[in-house]
Amino acid sequence: MMNLQAKAIWLSLATLVLVALPGVAQEPPVPNSEIVKINTDLVVLDAQVLRKKDGKVINTLRRDDFILLEDGVKQEVVHFSQDRLPLSILLLLDLSASVRPVLQEIRNGALQALQYLRPEDEVALMTFADQTRLLQDFTRDRKKIVDQIGKTLETSFVGVGTSIHTALNEAVLQMDNAHDRLSRRVIIVVTDNIATMHSFTKPTVSEVNERLLEHNAVVCGLTVGGESSRTLKMFMRGRAEKYNWTVRVDEFAEPTGGEVLIADTLNVNQRLADLFSHLRIRYSIGYTPVNSSRDGRFRRVNLSLTNEATKREGEMTIKTRQGYFARERQTTAKP
């Protein structure tokens, strides 16, 4: 069952962007003056709003519909936009034993999918099991990504298990290589979501989440089946006391404001399309903190909606990062 479900996921990548992108308006690039201001003055949140009743993405909200608090203190929203910045997407593919057999399918479908991204968007590719490998750094050349996916068919076995925490820890560092310093940073993890984290491993989940927040990276996940993987059950025999089975991609998506969708063979195409299309209609919300101290402490952020917005749209859920670390930043502007 796992192979059939995973195969459906990879095959659906071929239709993913066809569903997600054609309806999105092609807005002009952000002016340079705004880029500099965002980089030097503001804390910017990447937020997604979903209607609770049906999970529909709400894309009609205005600046004055949001209420923003930092450590309980109200903040003024001074920057508000939707899908104005390019995307830097790192595709993180699970190559553990239960997923590896479907690599040919993703290779066959990736070229058609990737060519529908916007010209300014860039993609990097990493794979992981109990090891993590960079196959392609950030590029706007879609063929390079497809070629590297194909080459995974020729590589040696990368191990049994799904070390999500270490893979994300390495993936977020790779985000520093994105060409646009102000692009929206997204790590998309496609996985069976079976974690084999050693009890004494470093870094810990909290350390990885801290690094993700420091880099303003959003983690999204698509998980399918795998909970009854025979291979991994054999691997874990006699070793369960050394591993923490509670680690899932969800633990990294929640604090960074990403979403995790679960797919089966009947709805995998739609769920995968939903995941990517949602990235296109998130809000960028910026503010200059009332507390301007750069003391290195964690500032908790709470983003909510006004009563008027709730009456108009219904009960909604907001996905955004839970806060940030108030540390000194580089302020060199691009020419």
Distance CA 141, CA 174 (A): 18
> Against a cut of 0.75, is the pTM above it?
yes
Q: Which H or E run contains 74? A: strand 73-75
Distance CA 134, CA 106 (A): 17
* Residue 311 domain boundaries: 32-83+283-325
Q: What is the count of structural domains for the chain?
A: 2
Residue 108 is which amino acid? Answer: N
- What torsion do the CA atoms of 165, 166, 167, 173 make, to the nearest 10 degrees? 110
- pLDDT score, position 130: 76
Q: Domain for residue 274, yes or no?
A: no
Distance CA 285, CA 52 (A): 21
List for the chain the helix, strand, coil content (%; round to 5): 35, 25, 35
**218 and 110 in one domain?**
yes
- pLDDT score, position 31: 41
Which of 83, 90, 39 has the alpha carbon at shortest distance from 57? 83
Distance of CA 265 to the CA centre of its chain: 23
**226 and 114 in one domain?**
yes
**98 and 114 in one domain?**
yes
Q: What is the CATH number of the domain that holds 239?
A: 3.40.50.410
Tokens of 261: 């969708």
Distance CA 216, CA 43 (A): 10
Residues of the chain scoring pLDDT < 70: 1-41, 97-116, 153, 155-161, 195-201, 225-246, 264-273, 329-335
Residue with tokens 């500032």: 299
**156 and 42 in one domain?**
no
With contact defined as beta carbons under 8 Å apart, do 320 and 117 qualify? Answer: no
Distance CA 140, CA 143 (A): 9
Q: Which H or E run contains 299? A: strand 298-305
Q: Domain for residue 335, yes or no?
A: no
Distance CA 101, CA 105 (A): 9
**250 and 155 in one domain?**
yes
Which of 94, 49, 133 has the alpha carbon at shortest distance from 223? 94
Q: Domain for residue 53, yes or no?
A: yes
**92 and 78 in one domain?**
no
Q: How many CB atoms lie within 10 A of CB 211?
A: 17
Distance CA 205, CA 194 (A): 15
Q: Domain for residue 27, yes or no?
A: no
**320 and 180 in one domain?**
no
Distance CA 58, CA 283 (A): 10
Q: Domain for residue 289, yes or no?
A: yes
Q: Domain for residue 184, yes or no?
A: yes
- pLDDT score, position 277: 75
Bridge partners for 305 per DSSP: 66
Secondary structure of 31-79 in HEC code, one letter for each residue: CHHHHHHHHHHCEEEEEEEEECCCCCECCCCCHHHEEEEECCEEECEEE
**Ranges assigned E (strand) in the chain:** 43-51, 66-70, 73-75, 77-82, 87-94, 122-128, 132-139, 184-191, 197-198, 217-224, 243-244, 260-263, 283-287, 298-305, 316-319, 323-325
3-state secondary structure of 318: strand
